[in-house]
Amino acid sequence: MKTAHDLVTAAKSRIQEISVTEAEQAIQQADILIDLREPDEYAAGHLQGAVNIPRGLLEFKMSGSPELSARNLDIVVYCKTSGRAALAANTLHEMGYLKVKSIAGGFDAWVQNGNNIVTLALPAFE
């Protein structure tokens, strides 16, 4: 029986994983940057320009959004530590997307590298 770790390891052997340093340029060139974390994780802090599509909704969002249907889109994905992103990148390849990159170490590595993040400002109710 395979574990989640086994599945992530297998996915990482089939995808293009890039370092945080490489990610900066890849993000600038990307058509879409996808944050695969849950909405509360995204709200607490995310990469500038990232669109939140939780991992559990990815296939449905990609299939159901005409603007995301082109298989030659340049896509960069990330999650907290890169496990969900590896699985997502592998799935996107299986769906026919040709240019998918996953950020090694995910959001945590991005922050540890000293890169800026964006947080959602909540309205003040006074």
Query: Could you give the residue numbers annotated as active site?
Result: 79
Q: Report the distance separating Cα 75 and Cα 32, nearest Å.
A: 5
Q: Locate 88 and state its tokens.
A: 């997502």
Q: Report the distance separating Cα 107 and Cα 22, nearest Å.
A: 14
Does 94 score more than 90 pLDDT? yes
Domains of the chain, first to last:
4-112 (3.40.250.10)
Q: Locate 26 and state its tokens.
A: 């890849």
Q: Report the distance separating Cα 33 and Cα 53, nearest Å.
A: 10
pLDDT tens string 24-75: 999 999 999 999 999 999 999 999 999 999 999 999 999 999 999 999 999 9
Task: Please tell me the pTM assigned to this model.
Answer: 0.92
Does 123 score more than 90 pLDDT? no
Contact assessment for residue 111 and residue 117, using Cβ atoms and an 8 Å cutoff: yes
